[in-house]
Copies of this chain bind each other. A is one copy, B any other.
Amino acid sequence: MGLSKSEVFSEADNRMADLAKAFAHPARVAILRLLAQRKACVCGDLVDELPLSQATVSQHLKELKRIGIIQGSIDPPRVCYCINEQVWEEAEEAFGGVFALFSKVGCC
């Protein structure tokens, strides 16, 4: 079908999947790296740093905003994006929690 049956999974798994989507495309990884290091903030600077059109970058920024991991504050005519600290830490803890589940005791 193409639609992920999100209603049959736990809230935690759905949120985790959404947070992972923020990192599931190289352009978004690049954007998040830049913002985390504060090497760029204004949308135009991000476009300059990335090998993608302005429209495409804007779309990735929209997706990151939807997830909540970044936020934008307007400074006309510019828009300055930055990491949303709370969601960033939520993601850090979510991944940390899953990675911590694994205990290395061979099974197969």
Alpha-carbon distance A99/B89, docked complex (angstroms): 8
Chain A residues proximal to chain B, CB less than 8 Å: 4-6, 8-10, 13-14, 16-17, 19-30, 32-33, 36-38, 41, 51-52, 73, 75, 80-83, 85, 88, 91-92, 95, 98-99, 101-108
Q: A85 — which chain B residues lie within 8 A by C-beta?
A: 102, 104
CB nearest neighbor in B for A75 = B108
CB distance from A59 to the nearest CB of B (A): 12
CB distance from A23 to the nearest CB of B (A): 4
Q: A8 — which chain B residues lie within 8 A by C-beta?
A: 51-52
Q: Knowing A5-B52, A98-B36 touch, does A108 contact B23 (C-beta < 8 A)?
A: no
